[in-house]
Amino acid sequence: MSFFTSRWVDAPDCALEVEDGLLPGGFRAAGVAAGLKPSGALDVGLIVCDAEGATSAARFSRSGAQSAPVLITRQQSELAGLRAVVVNSGNANAATGEQGLLDAAAMRAAAGAIAGVPAEQVAVASTGVIGVPLPIDAVTDGITAAGARLRADGAAEFAEAIRTTDAFPKQVTLDVQLSGGTVRLSVQAKGAGMISPNFATLLVFAQTDAEIDADEVDLLLAVCTKRSFDRISVDGQLSTSDTIVLQASGASGVRVEAESDAERAFGEVLDAALRQIALLVAKDGEGARRVGRVIVRGGDQRGVERVAHAVADSPLVKTALYGADPNWGRIIQAVGAALPGTAPLDVDIEIEGIAVCAHGGYVEHDAQTLAEAVRGDEVEYEITLPGEGAETERFFSDLGHEYITINADYTT
């Protein structure tokens, strides 16, 4: 398979990557150019599920400055029974006040009308510049045009329409062999770690034709989000606009019961797909060279999370990753900063399996071997704190000249 490229994702045996361009049964999609992007690129996307009994779940940014579409969808839509998703790129409709809420509601109503479903069964998402009024007429015209183009093979153009600064597309379609038959899972995403000119907004839309109760859709999404998008380090941790939607049409007739083998198998595939997508987000960006993974063990859950966060967000660690610098002092500095008042801290550090620090002090190691080990595309750091039981991981992008160029030289 060409999709599962990271050594940190186990490609599931029961899934086969397909490239026939078709969405799971029951779904149609389209993308059009509505004029929001000055380049004339696709900027309005629509996904419609034709199955009346569709189930779904959604997750959003927890930002205190949530965008208008996040507020409208989260507060006013039926998140367990979403039939349609409408997205625009080129404008985030964030920090746009009362008018922004009206515009997001208008987008939702227009998409509902085109899809033939109540507005409450539509999720709205927007990504792009902040604090600029949404050109709502252009967007609604785009929604009408997208409605006329809805097709079972429309996933690629939908994925194109939600892109902003992504250097490469992020989508996959997998056929999953379950005991009761084959189901399909498609995912389209956008997001570029540490590299977006405005925000590393994350939009992820996943569809399946499995038949899954809404509670189980929610559970699957919760578990898999926690192991994927909650574990990547992007600017500021929280965009105004992050949105993740999983929809199940049931069109395959293959049922995924709670706590069944089928659910475990389907969950494994969803987990692998979302982890690989999350890694692609961390890896994206012009000139980004490497992705890091930090694994933290020991201590308590709060401690390992703090340490993983501190290491993955440290500009010193990120620049070292970019420069293939095996400077482990930067790792212990981040660990110490995450756990104030605990000195002297009994911490062990390994980089690519090479022990560099034990009980808080340096360990003799071959500098040349270590320097070689940090030159690959993926670099792994393992940190062990005193105590047992807790464990977490985090993926992070490097920090290089291209980030500065894009972010310092771009002006709204």
CB count in 10 Å sphere of residue 345: 16
100 binds a second copy (CB under 8 A): yes
Total chain residues near a second copy (CB under 8 A): 78
Closest CA to 318 of 193, 165, 164, 191: 193
Residue 191 C-beta: closest distance to a second copy, Å: 14
Q: Which of 17, 268, 319, 372 binds a second copy (CB under 8 A)?
A: 319
Choices 55-63, 177-185, 214-222, 251-259 (CB under 8 A): range interacting with a second copy: 55-63
Does residue 316 belong to the site contacting a second copy (CB under 8 A)?
yes
Rule CB under 8 A: say whether 95 interacts with a second copy.
yes
Tell me whether residue 109 is exposed, middle or buried, using C-beta atoms within 10 angstroms of its C-beta: 0 to 12, 13 to 18, 19 or more: middle
Which two structure tokens, joined as six digits, stand for 5? 């490229």
Q: Which residues 132-171 are close enough to bind a second copy by CB under 8 A?
A: 132-133
Footprint (CB under 8 A) of a second copy, residues 363-402: 371, 399-401
User: Which residues, numbered 237-256, are part of the site for a second copy (CB under 8 A)?
Assistant: 237-240
Residue 325 is a binding residue for a second copy (CB under 8 A): yes
Q: Is 281 near a second copy (CB under 8 A)?
A: no
d(CA 113, CA 126): 19
Map residues 207-226 to x or -, x wherever contact with a second copy holds by CB under 8 A.
Answer: --------------------
Residue among 98 and 259 whose Cβ is closer to a second copy: 98
* Spatial CA neighbour of 80 closest among 279, 214, 274: 214
Nearer to a second copy, 169 or 336 (CB): 336
Choose which of 211, 218, 235, 382 interacts with a second copy (CB under 8 A).
235
| Residue selected from 19, 20, 259, 409 as contacting a second copy according to rule CB under 8 A | 409
CB of 306 to a second copy, least distance (A): 10
Phi, psi of 195 (to 5 degrees): -145, -10
The verdict on 48 binding a second copy (CB under 8 A) reads no
Q: Is 48 or 310 the residue whose CB approaches a second copy more closely?
A: 310
* Bond from prior residue into 69 cis (ω within 30 degrees of 0): no
Q: Quick check: 198 binds a second copy (CB under 8 A)? A: yes
Burial of 339 (0-12, 13-18, 19+ CB in 10 A): middle
The tokens 């965008």 sit on which residue?
A: 67
* Sole binder of a second copy in the list 71, 82, 123, 251 (CB under 8 A): 71
What are the angstrom distances between the C-alpha of 373 and each of 317, 324, 352, 367?
16, 9, 6, 10
Neighbouring C-alpha atoms within 13 Å toward the C-beta of 322: 21
Q: Determine contact, residues 48/28, Cβ cutoff 8 Å.
A: yes
403 belongs to the binding site for a second copy (CB under 8 A): yes
